[in-house]
Amino acid sequence: MTTRREFIKNSVLLTGGAALFGGSIMCAGRKKIPQNGLVVSAAADDMLIRQDYNPDAVHRAFEAGLTELTGEKSLENAWSSLVSSEDVVGIKINCIAAPKISSSIQSIHETIAGLKSAGVKDNNIIVWDHMDWAFRRTGLDINRGPSGVRVYGSSDKSAVTIPWTEGFDRDVYISLEDGTLRKFRQLVEENFTEDGTHREIFNSCTWLWMLINLGNEDAQKYRKDIRRLYMDYDDREGIKRIAEEVANKFQDVVIEDEEKSFFSNIVTKDITKLINIAVLKHNEDSGVTWAAKNIALGVTTNKVRFHIDYCATAIPMIMNHPCIKDKTVLHIGEAAKISTVSVAGAQMAFDNRIFFSRDPAAMDRIGLDILEEKRLEMGLESIRGIATHVEACGRMGVGISDLSKIDWRSIQV
């Protein structure tokens, strides 16, 4: 019988030989942005007004934070040190739970103004997230036209549980066995359902959700249960029953590209620089969501399965890909409104800071402590033990995750 600890360990080891493939010329040969462990936080007593970001406070935070981060004397020069007038810049936002808690319209507008001050043309700015549907409550209108700031998703369809759809690059992907039918068959032989947690069992069955969304007739009977079990973390017996029921089914099924997660055309083909506006949140499957996860799970398809080891394998792989690592020039971390439970916005804590860094691992390490503190104040359990992707990013060279080596500069504005 496979124990829970062995299950997670084996999942990581079995993906150790996974390969990254880059087929786009836009993904290679660009100057790397230093990952130096510097994080700047800018605090303002008036950062929030009736739970909305105050534009004036946001501007002061950006001015102080970016000049400190870049060493430039003016905000305009700070932006010009990050981008040029020839760049096409993607602003990755987080739309989940908008308008209650998502990348704020104030930080988005401030970022656009900064890019324009550096000479970036309106239509060379792309505000984007995973799919068009996510923008519905953000106050932003979809614009794929030849004028104005462009706003759109990687696709007009969800690619959360399927390998590929329009809007994603067939030539650029990571390859992982986690969550595939092939891997599931191996785990069944090891009787893993006896000891696995709800999430471990569920994420090993993401191939079933894939079959449902790909239209497989025999899989449709599980649609309702799989959708419910995605959020019903307490029903371990429910997902265990399904896993055991499908263990000897679908023997003749081969799922094309089931092990692949393709990258958005936006990062592989469309943009030359990437800016990340992330919201500090708790997640049941990764502990903390902030800089790295907002990019890694926002840019790829077939991603529910990443959570099988709390994203400790997938996030570092994605963040190290040239399309991400060589293009990302800035992480903006909003922390004045913090989602403290997995259902985004169901419970919130408040602070008064916006963070700025070029190092996603360093920002996430600080964010983990902040989130942990806020949750403990609410009487919620620790999530440090499952936020393993933060340290994994440090080990894999994404950035610095050792708190003692992070240069954290706090500013009051």
Q: Which domains can be identified in the chain, with CATH numbers?
A: 27-168+264-412 (3.40.50), 181-245 (no CATH)
DSSP class of 260: E
CA angle (344, 333, 231) in 5-degree steps: 20
One pLDDT digit (tens) per residue for the chain, 413 residues: 444 444 444 444 333 334 444 444 457 544 444 558 999 999 999 999 999 999 999 999 999 999 999 999 999 999 999 999 999 999 999 998 888 899 999 999 999 999 999 999 999 999 999 999 999 989 999 999 999 999 999 999 999 999 999 999 999 999 999 999 999 999 999 999 999 999 899 999 999 999 999 999 999 999 999 999 998 989 999 999 999 999 999 999 999 999 999 999 999 999 999 999 999 999 989 999 999 999 999 999 999 999 999 999 999 999 999 999 999 999 999 999 999 998 777 899 999 999 999 999 999 999 999 999 999 999 999 999 999 999 999 999 999 999 999 999 999 99
- 105-117 vs 55-70: helix crossing angle, rounded to 10: 50
pLDDT of residue 28: 54
d(CA 64, CA 58): 10
Residue type, 219: A
Cα 74 to Cα 1, 79, 117, 356, distances in angstroms: 61, 9, 11, 16
Measured distance CA(130)–CA(134) in Å, rounded: 7
pLDDT for res 29: 42
Taking residue 114's Cβ as centre, other Cβ atoms within 10 Å add up to 24
Residue 319 near residue 292 (C-beta atoms within 8 A): yes
For residues 229 and 239, is the Cβ–Cβ distance under 8 A? yes
Please give the model's pTM, rounded to 2 decimal places: 0.92
E strand segments, 272-311: 273-283, 287-289
Written as six digits, the tokens of 282 are 């708790």
Q: Which two tokens stand for residue 369?
A: 């402590």
Instruction: State how far the Cα of 263 lies from the Cα of 110, in Å rounded to an integer.
Output: 27
By C-alpha distance, which of 125, 23, 111, 31 is closest to 327? 31
The three-state secondary structure class of 89 is strand
Following DSSP, what letter does each residue of 333-386 receive, concatenated?
EEEEEEE-SSSTTSSEEE--EEEEES-HHHHHHHHHHHHHHHHHHTTPPP-GGG
What letter does residue 137 receive in the DSSP assignment? G
Contact 91, 108 (CB under 8 A): yes
Distance CA 34, CA 275 (A): 15
The answer for residues whose C-beta is within 8 angstroms of residue 174's C-beta and 6 or more apart is 18, 19, 20, 21, 260, 261, 300, 314, 317, 318, 321
Distance CA 200, CA 236 (A): 10
Q: What angle do CA 19, 21, 24 make, to 5 degrees?
A: 165
Tell me the C-alpha distance between 181 and 197, whole Å: 19
Contact in structure between 166 and 157 (CB atoms under 8 Å): yes
How far is residue 23's CA from residue 396's CA, in Å, rounded to a whole number? 22
